[in-house]
């Protein structure tokens, strides 16, 4: 049988990073995916409106064992490059908050944009295609695939692993990228769920549904965003953000309503209407159920006029430095990203190419680079996908 014609590049995973890479890898490149639709995570992202980047994205918004690794790709393909690409395709957007840019239309519009770019670059997308085995000899990768149920072997000098992390297996996540990294002798850093709700047993079930602005702190990092109480524990943007910095057995500190000076507000109320009950007064500053819980936990009761500043101390403590110890996270089923992954020490930060296996690249979430909540993870997918695609 004649040897199959080598592909200029084979990209494993038609998600955000893989499609971006295919759009720059040149004619004849092929991006495969085992799902029957490309870009499933883009589709469900940002509540269906894809938070595709962040105006303020920079290396400071990413976690990695090597905080310098992401700098090169992020500075060569920036958020403004993607914004320009959106403009070129007539896709409009808006800033929601904190520099987070969302599509005006549904997230599908971003998938269409990427597929149009892939088609314009004369690259191909093969769906319902699985990887069976990868061999490597004479500088070439020989990859056994199952495409639409039929076996098919392809060869290539450039193999790009863009198969994402472990989060949300229901929509396609597998451990393929980590297995390939191990096969080729690449080290992996520890992986764990990121941007994920934290669990607290049933401690907050009475407060389920209550939301409140808060400052969440852990390991020297703080985020001011919304906090949401759920039946399982805590969620909302503030918790998702801090979950990236939390490790099992550690506390997180919560300051409710960080823009509010509780002591001054309570003193004013004491002057104005000291005969009112403490819980009623606090319910004017916090959601009612949360006010009741905080007052109960502080052990205080009675009229505000009867409580001196010193007597209010336990309440103020609970409002401004509430130490909570999560029992765990809601896991990969709910995590938006996977922290950790392919160790960047084995990769070129310029091309995402393996330092030990020429032609092998790792891009996107499979790499040990994880962004904060707010469009940063897609920016990493665009930047790293572009860096590998243009280097092939």
- Bridge partners (DSSP) of residue 194 are 337
| 341 is a contact residue toward ligand FDA (CB under 6 A) | no
Indicate whether 24 belongs to the interface with ligand FDA (CB under 6 A): no
Using CB under 6 A, count the residues that bind ligand FDA: 38
Cα–Cα–Cα angle for 23, 28, 30, nearest 5°? 65
CA torsion angle for 349, 355, 358, 364 (degrees, to 10)?
-40
Exposed/middle/buried for 178, CB within 10 Å: 0-12, 13-18, 19+? buried
Place of tokens 């938006």: 336
Among 7, 24, 31, 40, binds ligand FDA (CB under 6 A): 40
379 φ/ψ sector (left φ>0, alpha ψ -120 to 50, else beta): alpha
Under the binding rule (CB under 6 A), the answer on residue 154 touching ligand FDA is: no
Closer Cβ to ligand FDA, 14 or 319, answer by number: 14
Using the contact rule CB under 6 A, the part of the chain among 116-124, 159-167, 324-332, 348-356 near ligand FDA is 159-167
- Which residue among 118, 381, 387, 392 contacts ligand FDA (CB under 6 A)? 381
In whole angstroms, the minimum distance from the beta carbon of 140 to ligand FDA comes to: 20
For ligand FDA, which residue of 15, 193, 197, 326 counts as binding (CB under 6 A)? 15
Number of continuous H segments (helices) and E segments (strands) in the chain: 12, 22
**Under rule CB under 6 A, residue 118 binds ligand FDA:** no
Under the binding rule (CB under 6 A), the answer on residue 155 touching ligand FDA is: no
**Per CB under 6 A, does 295 bind ligand FDA?**
no
Q: How far is the CB of 390 from ligand FDA (least distance, A)?
A: 17
For tokens 């049988």, what's the residue? 1
Is 117 one of the binding residues for ligand FDA (CB under 6 A)?
Answer: no
Told to check if 44 binds ligand FDA by CB under 6 A, we report: yes
CB of 71 to ligand FDA, least distance (A): 18
Q: Is 13 in the site for ligand FDA (CB under 6 A)?
A: yes
Answer yes or no: are the C-beta atoms of 364 and 385 closer than 8 Å.
Answer: yes
Task: Return the sign of the alpha-carbon dihedral for residues 379, 382, 385, 389.
Answer: negative
Nearest-approach distance from CB 173 to ligand FDA, in angstroms: 6
In the complex with ligand FDA, the residue whose CB is nearer, 173 or 266, is: 173
Q: Of 69-77, 162-170, 197-205, 258-266, which part binds ligand FDA (CB under 6 A)?
A: 162-170
Residue whose beta carbon is closest to ligand FDA: 15
329 near ligand FDA, rule: CB under 6 A: no
Longest dimension (CA), the chain: 93
Question: Binding pattern to ligand FDA, positions 124-153, x when CB under 6 A?
Answer: ------xx----------------------
389 binds ligand FDA (CB under 6 A): no
Query: Counting contacts by CB under 6 A, is residue 320 touching ligand FDA?
Result: no
For residue 220, give the H/E element and its range: none
Provide the token pair at 203: 């401690």
Shortest CB 83 distance to ligand FDA, Å: 14
**By the rule CB under 6 A, 168 interacts with ligand FDA:** yes
CB 365 within 8 A of CB 359: no
Per the listing, tokens 């070439």 go with 140
User: Judged by CB under 6 A, which stretch of 46-54, 68-76, 112-120, 260-268 contacts ligand FDA?
Assistant: 46-54
User: DSSP states of 281-319 as a string?
Assistant: HHTTTS-HHHHHHHHHHHT--SBGGG--TTTTHHHHHHH
Q: For the chain, what percentages of helix, strand and coil (3-state, to nearest 5) are there?
A: 35, 25, 40
Alpha-carbon distance 251 to 175, whole Å?
A: 30
- Binding ligand FDA by CB under 6 A: which of 7, 9, 33, 74? 33
Is residue 140 within 8 Å of 8, Cβ to Cβ? no
Residue count of the chain, please give it: 392
Q: Do residues 207 and 322 touch, judged by C-beta distance below 8 A?
A: no
Pick from 7, 10, 51, 320: which binds ligand FDA (CB under 6 A)? 51
Q: Does 50 bind ligand FDA (CB under 6 A)?
A: yes
With contact defined as beta carbons under 8 Å apart, do 300 and 338 qualify? no
Binding footprint of ligand FDA on the chain (CB under 6 A): 12-18, 32-35, 40-41, 44-46, 50-51, 130-131, 162-164, 167-168, 172-174, 176, 336-337, 364-365, 375-378, 381
């Amino acid at each position: 049988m004649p040897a199959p014609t080598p592909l200029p590049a084979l990209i494993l995973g038609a998600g955000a990073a893989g499609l971006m890479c295919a759009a720059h890898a040149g004619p004849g490149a092929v991006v495969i995916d085992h799902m029957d639709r490309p870009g499933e995570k883009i589709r469900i992202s940002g509540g269906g409106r894809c938070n595709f980047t962040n105006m303020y994205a920079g290396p400071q918004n990413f976690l990695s064992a090597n905080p310098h690794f992401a700098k090169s790709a992020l500075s060569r393909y920036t958020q403004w490059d993607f914004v320009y690409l959106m403009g070129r395709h007539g896709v409009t957007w808006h800033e929601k908050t904190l520099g987070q840019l969302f599509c005006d239309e549904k997230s599908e519009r971003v998938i269409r944009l990427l597929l149009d770019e892939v088609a314009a670059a004369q690259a191909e997308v093969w769906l319902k295609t699985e990887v069976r085995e990868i061999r490597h000899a004479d500088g070439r990768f020989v990859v056994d695939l199952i495409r639409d149920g039929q076996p098919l072997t392809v060869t290539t000098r450039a193999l790009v692993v863009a198969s994402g992390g472990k989060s949300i297996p229901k929509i396609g996540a597998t451990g393929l990228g980590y297995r390939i990294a191990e096969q080729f002798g690449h080290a992996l850093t520890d992986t764990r769920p990121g941007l994920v709700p934290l669990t607290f047993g049933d401690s907050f079930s009475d407060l389920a549904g209550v939301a409140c602005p808060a400052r969440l702190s852990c390991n020297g990092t703080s985020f001011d965003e919304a906090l949401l109480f759920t039946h399982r524990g805590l969620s909302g943007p503030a918790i998702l953000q801090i979950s990236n910095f939390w490790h099992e057995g550690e506390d997180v500190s919560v300051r409710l309503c960080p823009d509010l000076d509780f002591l001054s507000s309570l003193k004013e109320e004491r002057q104005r209407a000291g005969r009112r009950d403490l819980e009623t007064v606090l319910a004017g500053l916090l959601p009612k159920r949360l006010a009741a819980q905080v007052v109960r936990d502080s052990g205080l009761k009675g009229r505000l006029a009867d409580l001196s500043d010193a007597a209010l101390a336990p309440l103020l403590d609970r409002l401004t430095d509430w130490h909570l110890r999560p029992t765990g996270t809601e896991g990969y089923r709910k995590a938006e990203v996977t922290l950790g992954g392919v160790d960047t020490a084995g990769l070129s930060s310029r091309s995402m190419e393996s330092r030990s296996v020429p032609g092998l690249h790792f891009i996107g979430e499979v790499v040990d680079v994880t962004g904060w909540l707010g469009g940063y993870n897609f920016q990493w997918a665009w930047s790293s996908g572009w860096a590998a695609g243009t280097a092939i």
